[in-house]
Structure 1
Amino acid sequence: MRFHSFAIAALVAISEATTPDVLHRNKARQNATTASERLGLEWLGGNSSLPKVLILFTGGTISGGSIYGALDDTQYGQLSITGETIISRNPYLLNHTQLAVSNWTTDGNGSTGTNDALVMNMTRFAHDALCSPDSDIDGAVFTHGTNSLEETAFLMDLLVNCGKPVVGAGAMRPWTHLSFDGDANFFDSVMLAASPESRNRGALVAFNARILSAFWVTKLHSTNPDAFWSTAGGDLGIFINSLPVFFNSPSQSLWKHEFSIAHVSNHSTYPALPKVDILYAAREFDGKLVLDTRANGADGVVIAGTGNGGIPNGSAQIKEALDSGLQIVVGTRSPYGPSSPSVKPSYAKSGFLHVIQARIMLQLAIASGMGMNETIGLFEGRFRTAIGQEWTPGR
């Protein structure tokens, strides 16, 4: 693996030969006065007065190329470029910012699209870099494959909450394509992370010249460059001349819960998150699938229900699963609209959260020690207050 984490950094320091260069670097980190020095970040750009933006590089289509020519945008991946190469492709970046690259790519051990532990380690690293008392960093950008960019963006939105922007960047076309969108998306993301106007808005996604909230963002098109949209809340702004223009003053979702990264990291699944599966409901839905997730080690399950969070069949099996300790959240398979609270709930309804985001929220709830009733309150509390449908466990 080639990714940074505190434990791995320590192991590397121990295993490296004690050359003068290594001893000098270790001593410099021990005497560090800033997060940049302590984390060993090397800044590109000669103007120390410019904003510092940390690049968390995980690869993705933005770094992928094709051997099949400039028209291929489906079979790529045989070629790759580094974060430093992406920066070098746009000479304007270092006229506006200082950039440091932290690599989170892996060799044969999964990616940010498949590995919760890797994403959590990167999120902890970002939290330390941005939110520690010695932080000298203004914001961060993480590159990501678009298939699961929304998952990492949502996770960071709930865990990195010190006001500094974290921005997701990606591409729908490989860098070998004749109309590669990655360079523009990356530049916009860096400008967004560097902008003081981005503060206190939570995590963000910059895609196709649009500014989106990480809390609401989802991928609605599998191949189009304008792939990402908001399931609720709308766009936060746009890019004009590759600079961010916001529509409103800073605010965040009323539905958002800020979790303690330290508390979540104390869970037994560390460095990963509790296992939560997703099931898709349709006519003849088999409730035994819920029990199967429990038997397979799941702590929770999110069901993409029909319509306003309906489940066609399986109520007996769902009750059995709940009695066994499985936590259940039911959303809607519809791309827009809520899964509304039940009058007397036995499991949580996801409200306006997409099932992908609901899975991450449930993982964090379980890792934070919440039981089913607390999880119901987490997902439904503000919704119930808004519609005058208060609920107290046991009544």
Structure 2
Amino acid sequence: MRFSGIVIAALGAVAVSAALLAPHIQGRQYKTTASQRLSLQWLRGNSSLPKVLVLYTGGTIAGGSIYGALDDTQYGQLSLTGEQIIARNPYLLNHTQLAVSNWTSSEGSTGTSDSLVMNMTRFAHDALCSEDSDIDGAIYTHGTNSLEETAFLLDLLVNCGKPIVGVGAMRPWTHLSFDGDANFFDGAVLAAHPDARNRGVMVAFNSRIIPGFWVTKQYSTNPDAFGATATGDLGAFINNKPYFYNTPSQPNAKHQFSLSLISNSSFSPSLPKVDILYAARQFSGKLVLDAYSDGASGVVIAGTGNGGIPNGQEEIALALEKGLQIVVGTRSPFGPSTPSRVPTYAKSGFVHVVQARIMLQLAIASGYTMNDTIVLFEKGLRDAIGQPFVPAV
């Protein structure tokens, strides 16, 4: 596995000893900062500028093509480091101080490994939320195929008010109109901006500020690839400076999970296995039982309409008896999966199925029962429509 020294230090940084935080040297007590404790090396032009941590995971923003400046589908043979991405833009260090923490690995990526993205989340929480933190915000580079998943996970687990911004690119850096430089610059400036606090995770893409809780990839190749499944953009970049449409707020459907509780669960350092199934005519409930047999702790079903399942109710009931947790969303790109009057499994409300999978993983790792999970996903919407759910004792 090819981790940088920063990452190796990060894996043990969650439980830093008091002696390390306040070493005694020649009779005097010196307290370190998070930057010193995590061995972060700051690239700076001015030491008074905001400090923004760069969680580098690669992605298209770091990828190049040997096939020329018109290729934006067959790239990946060339790559940039996080430091090289920063060096491409001479304006960055006029606005921020930047330190790169490398989260690439030859054995997987944050798009394929729950354990790797959870370790990065623990590192980000320690860097931003510890008492000795001297860091103002963070950005993470990411492959766009799963950028939304990492945004949602971070949004539910890192909640100390400091901004985290997801950035990426739809075109390789060898392309004649590479979009990654602008997205990276916008993300860094956004993470450093005082008005970005208390808004949760955000994504800076194509001059748009998109909420991390609702963000999803809506177009497979277009530079304007991302949008929100509910609400809308939080703001826009004007002259590469963030402008917010509203004062800070949080989604009603958002739940802040305990990172320490999940890190101490039996699933750590990873997360419970949760599969996504797509419902259509002739849907087979056997798929749900197969997921359970394959080790899944939960299943999210992309249901028809507002959360319908055409067939397979008997198999679903059997899977629930066996202890599988089930959440049903909608395969539609927008709109809710609405609660049943007498639920046996959870409906995801306005939470998209990809995000619902992550919320279910965190719920199971936190020790939730099926009834707890129903309340987690449904309470806000049930309160609004006057259909309370009271679990049987």
The alignment's TM-score, normalised by the length of structure 1, stands at 0.94
Q: Could you tell me how far apart the structure 2 residues matched to 1:112 and 1:394 are?
A: 39
Other structure's SS at 2:122 match: helix
Q: Give the paired residue count.
A: 381
Q: 2:38 — aligned with what?
A: 39
Give the partner amino acid of 1:328.
Answer: I
Q: 2:353 — aligned with what?
A: 355
Could you tell me whether the CA contact under 8 Å between 1:171 and 1:185 is conserved in 2? yes
TM-aligned CA deviation for residue 3 of structure 1: 3.5
- Is the alpha carbon distance of 1:178 and 1:31 closer, same or farther for their aligned partners in structure 2, counting shifts above 3 Å? same
Could you tell me whether the CA contact under 8 Å between 1:3 and 1:102 is conserved in 2? no
Give the partner amino acid of 1:209.
Answer: S
Other structure's SS at 1:376 match: helix
Q: 1:284 — aligned with what?
A: 282
TM-aligned CA deviation for residue 10 of structure 1: 8.2
Q: Could you tell me how far apart the structure 1 residues matched to 2:5 and 2:379 are?
A: 35
Could you tell me whether the CA contact under 8 Å between 2:210 and 2:227 is conserved in 1? yes
Matched, 1:121 2:124: no
Q: 2:2 — aligned with what?
A: 2
Q: Could you tell me how far apart the structure 1 residues matched to 2:10 and 2:34 are?
A: 16
Q: Could you tell me how far apart the structure 2 residues matched to 1:269 and 1:87 are?
A: 36
Deviation digits for residues 177-207 of structure 1, max 9, x if unmatched? 0000000000000000000000000000000
Other structure's SS at 1:383 match: helix
Deviation digits for residues 89-136 of structure 1, max 9, x if unmatched? 0000000110000000111x1111100000000000000000000000
- Is the alpha carbon distance of 1:314 and 1:5 closer, same or farther for their aligned partners in structure 2, counting shifts above 3 Å? farther
Q: Could you tell me how far apart the structure 2 residues matched to 1:10 and 1:239 are?
A: 33
Q: Could you tell me how far apart the structure 1 residues matched to 2:114 and 2:10 are?
A: 21
Q: Give the alignment partner of residue 111 of structure 1, picking from 109, 112, 116.
A: 109
Deviation digits for residues 274-325 of structure 1, max 9, x if unmatched? 0000000000000000000000000000000000000000000000000000
Q: Could you tell me how far apart the structure 2 residues matched to 1:40 and 1:390 are?
A: 50
Q: Could you tell me how far apart the structure 2 residues matched to 1:11 and 1:275 are?
A: 22
Matched, 1:311 2:309: yes
Could you tell me whether the CA contact under 8 Å between 1:172 and 1:225 is conserved in 2? yes
Other structure's SS at 2:100 match: strand
- Is the alpha carbon distance of 1:313 and 1:166 closer, same or farther for their aligned partners in structure 2, counting shifts above 3 Å? same
Q: 2:47 — aligned with what?
A: 48
Give the partner amino acid of 2:2.
Answer: R
Q: Could you tell me how far apart the structure 1 residues matched to 2:304 and 2:257 are?
A: 29
TM-aligned CA deviation for residue 46 of structure 1: 3.2
Matched, 1:74 2:41: no
Could you tell me whether the CA contact under 8 Å between 1:60 and 1:170 is conserved in 2? yes
Q: Could you tell me how far apart the structure 2 residues matched to 1:9 and 1:211 are?
A: 32
Matched, 1:248 2:243: no
- Is the alpha carbon distance of 1:90 and 1:7 closer, same or farther for their aligned partners in structure 2, counting shifts above 3 Å? closer
Other structure's SS at 1:302 match: strand
Other structure's SS at 1:277 match: strand
Could you tell me whether the CA contact under 8 Å between 1:141 and 1:193 is conserved in 2? yes
Other structure's SS at 2:236 match: strand
Q: 1:376 — aligned with what?
A: 374
- Is the alpha carbon distance of 1:150 and 1:389 closer, same or farther for their aligned partners in structure 2, counting shifts above 3 Å? same
Give the partner amino acid of 2:120.
Answer: M
Give the partner amino acid of 1:82.
Answer: T
Give the partner amino acid of 1:250.
Answer: P
Matched, 1:58 2:57: yes
Q: 1:275 — aligned with what?
A: 273
Matched, 1:321 2:313: no
Percent identity (aligned)? 74
Q: 1:94 — aligned with what?
A: 93
**Aligned-pair RMSD on alpha carbons?**
1.9
Give the partner amino acid of 1:383.
Answer: L
TM-aligned CA deviation for residue 215 of structure 1: 0.3
Q: 2:20 — aligned with what?
A: none
- Is the alpha carbon distance of 1:27 and 1:288 closer, same or farther for their aligned partners in structure 2, counting shifts above 3 Å? farther
Q: Give the alignment partner of residue 185 of structure 2, picking from 187, 194, 200.
A: 187
TM-aligned CA deviation for residue 6 of structure 1: 9.0
Q: Which runs of 5+ in 2 are unaligned?
A: 14-22
TM-aligned CA deviation for residue 2 of structure 1: 3.5
Q: Could you tell me how far apart the structure 2 residues matched to 1:146 and 1:120 are?
A: 18
Other structure's SS at 2:295 match: coil
Could you tell me whether the CA contact under 8 Å between 2:6 and 2:39 is conserved in 1? no
Could you tell me whether the CA contact under 8 Å between 1:2 and 1:103 is conserved in 2? no
Q: Could you tell me how far apart the structure 1 residues matched to 2:258 and 2:382 are?
A: 24
Give the partner amino acid of 2:80.
Answer: I
Q: Could you tell me how far apart the structure 1 residues matched to 2:7 and 2:45 are?
A: 31
Deviation digits for residues 245-285 of structure 1, max 9, x if unmatched? 00000001011000010001111111100000000000000
Matched, 1:232 2:240: no
- Is the alpha carbon distance of 1:229 and 1:295 closer, same or farther for their aligned partners in structure 2, counting shifts above 3 Å? same
Q: Could you tell me how far apart the structure 2 residues matched to 1:31 and 1:219 are?
A: 47
Q: Could you tell me how far apart the structure 2 residues matched to 1:11 and 1:188 are?
A: 29
The alignment's TM-score, normalised by the length of structure 2, stands at 0.94
TM-aligned CA deviation for residue 370 of structure 1: 0.3
- Is the alpha carbon distance of 1:121 and 1:4 closer, same or farther for their aligned partners in structure 2, counting shifts above 3 Å? farther
TM-aligned CA deviation for residue 391 of structure 1: 1.1
